[in-house]
C-alpha cells in the first residue's frame, strides 16, 4: 500500500507533461542509420534542464553526442536510467507522417513512440518528481546515440562509467512493463575470404572465394541447427546464428578472388565473441584444407568482431527486480520476471559497473517497435513514470 510520502511523490508526475514530452521527442527526427541524433538530444537536454538536472554531453561523432543528466548529490548511491536517442528509419507503410505524433484513442503514434522516446519521457518525469520531493536521492540518465546500429555511443559512455558503483541500472526499453532480468547479447562478424582470380573458361586455374563462402554458410547453418536442439537456457533460450550479407566476385566470367560476409551471432552472457569467431574460421579452414578445391592452399579466411553488445543476467532474488515487482503491483500490474531474446545496452553497464540491471519499459517490442504505425499506450507511459519514481524511492529506503 502506498504511504503518504509516496502518494505525494507520485502526484508530482503529470500525465499531460509525459504525453507532451513524448510527442516532442518523436518530432525530433533521429533515424539511424541515415541521420544523426543532434535534434533529439537538444530536445532531451532542454527537458532535463527544465527539471533541474545537471546535463553534460559526450561527443561520439560529429552531430552525435551521448547525454548524461543527473539530479541529487554526486556522492549519494546512484540509480542509473539507460535509454537511447536514436530510432530506426521510418520506412514505408505509415498511415500518417511518422514524425508528426498523433494522439488518439489512448495511444501516441509515431516513430520512436515505443522504442524509445516514450521511455525517455517517463524517465524525465520520474527524475523530476524525485528531484522536487527527495533531493537527497541521486538519479542519473544516460541516453546513448547509435544504439540501433553499432552501439558506438554505449561503448564510448563506458569510459565514464567503468568502475563506478551503482545501486541499480534500469533500462527503459519496451517490455510491456514486464521485468527483464537477463538478455542475450549480440555480436557481428566480418569475414573476408581471399582466393585467386582466373578466366571462367579455365576455373581450375583459380581458387574460388565464393565456394569457401558456401562452406561458411553451410557451417553456420549446421551450428544454428545444433543451437536449436538445446538444451535451452530457461531464461534466455539459446544462442543463434544468421548470415546477413554475402558480397563477392566481379563478373560472371571471372573466378571470384574475394568475398566478404557479415554474420550475426546472438550470444549468451558468458560467451566470448573472439573465441566463437576463431572456432568458426578454424573449422572452415580445416574443411578447405581437406577439400579438393583447386589451389586450396591459396584460399584464406580471416575475420574480425565489428560489434559486441554483451548480454547480462541479474539474480531473481536481487532487490532490484523484487522491488520492481512490488512497485508495479501498486499500479495493478502483475509483472513477471523474464528474459529477452533481443539485445540491449544494459550488458555494457553491468560489465562496467557490476550493477544489478533490469529492463522495464512502456510499449511492446514485438508488435510495435521497428514497425510502421508504431504506437505506445498513454496509460503505460504514466505507469512507467510512476513506477520509476517509486522504485527509486524504495530502493534508496531499503538500503
For the stretch 219-223, contacts whose Cβ atoms lie closer than 8 Å and that sit 24 or more positions apart, written own/partner, are 219/280, 219/283, 219/284, 219/287, 220/263, 220/280, 223/280
Burial (CB < 10 A; 0-12, 13-18, 19+), residue 152, is: middle
| Residue 379 annotated in active site | no
* Residues contacting residue 270 through CB under 8 Å, at least 6 positions apart: none
* Residue pointed to by grid coordinates 509516496: 6
The active-site residue, picked from 6, 31, 86, 178, is 86
86 included as an active-site residue: yes
All three cell numbers of 256: 571470384
Query: Nine-digit cell at 108?
Result: 501516441
The length of the chain, given as a count of residues: 399
User: Which residues contact residue 307 at a Cβ distance below 8 angstroms, ignoring those fewer than 6 apart?
Assistant: 150, 151, 186, 187, 188
Sign of CA dihedral 383, 384, 387, 389: negative
**Catalytically annotated residue among 31, 147, 345, 374:** 147
Catalytic residues: 86, 147
Amino acid at each position: 500500500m502506498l504511504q503518504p510520502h509516496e502518494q505525494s511523490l507520485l502526484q508530482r508526475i503529470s500525465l499531460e507533461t509525459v504525453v507532451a514530452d513524448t510527442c516532442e521527442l518523436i518530432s525530433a527526427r533521429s533515424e539511424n542509420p541515415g541521420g544523426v541524433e543532434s535534434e533529439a538530444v537538444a530536445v532531451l537536454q532542454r527537458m532535463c534542464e527544465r527539471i533541474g538536472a545537471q546535463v553534460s554531453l559526450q561527443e561520439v561523432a560529429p552531430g552525435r553526442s551521448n547525454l548524461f543528466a543527473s539530479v541529487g548529490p554526486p556522492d549519494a548511491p546512484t540509480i542509473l536510467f539507460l535509454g537511447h536517442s536514436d530510432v530506426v528509419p521510418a520506412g514505408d507503410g505509415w498511415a500518417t507522417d511518422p514524425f508528426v505524433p498523433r494522439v488518439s484513442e489512448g495511444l501516441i503514434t509515431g516513430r520512436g513512440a515505443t522504442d524509445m522516446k516514450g521511455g525517455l519521457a517517463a524517465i524525465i518525469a520520474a527524475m523530476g518528481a524525485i528531484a522536487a520531493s527527495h533531493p537527497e536521492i541521486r538519479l542519473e540518465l544516460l541516453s546513448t546515440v547509435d544504439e540501433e546500429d553499432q552501439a558506438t555511443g554505449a561503448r564510448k559512455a563506458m569510459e565514464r562509467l567503468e568502475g563506478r558503483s551503482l545501486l541499480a541500472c534500469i533500462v527503459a526499453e519496451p517490455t510491456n512493463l514486464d521485468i527483464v532480468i537477463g538478455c542475450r547479447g549480440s555480436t557481428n562478424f566480418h569475414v573476408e575470404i581471399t582466393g585467386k582470380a582466373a578466366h571462367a573458361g579455365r576455373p581450375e586455374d583459380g581458387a574460388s572465394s565464393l565456394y569457401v563462402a558456401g562452406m561458411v554458410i553451410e557451417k553456420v547453418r549446421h551450428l544454428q541447427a545444433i543451437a536449436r536442439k538445446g538444451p535451452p537456457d530457461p531464461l534466455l533460450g539459446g544462442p543463434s546464428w544468421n548470415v546477413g550479407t554475402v558480397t563477392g566476385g566481379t563478373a560472371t566470367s571471372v573466378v571470384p578472388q574475394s568475398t566478404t560476409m557479415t554474420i550475426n551471432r546472438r550470444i549468451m552472457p558468458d560467451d566470448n565473441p573472439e573465441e566463437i569467431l576463431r572456432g568458426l574460421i578454424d573449422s572452415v579452414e580445416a574443411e578447405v584444407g581437406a577439400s579438393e578445391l583447386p589451389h586450396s592452399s591459396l584460399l584464406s579466411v580471416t575475420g574480425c568482431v565489428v560489434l559486441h553488445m554483451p548480454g547480462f543476467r541479474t539474480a531473481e532474488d536481487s532487490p532490484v527486480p523484487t522491488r520492481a515487482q512490488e512497485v508495479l503491483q501498486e499500479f495493478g500490474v502483475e509483472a513477471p520476471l523474464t528474459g529477452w531474446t533481443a539485445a540491449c545496452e544494459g550488458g555494457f553497464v553491468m560489465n562496467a559497473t557490476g550493477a544489478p540491471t533490469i529492463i522495464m519499459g512502456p510499449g511492446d517490442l514485438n508488435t510495435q517497435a521497428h514497425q510502421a504505425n508504431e504506437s505506445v499506450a498513454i496509460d503505460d507511459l504514466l505507469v512507467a513514470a510512476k513506477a520509476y519514481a517509486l522504485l527509486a524511492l524504495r530502493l534508496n529506503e531499503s538500503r
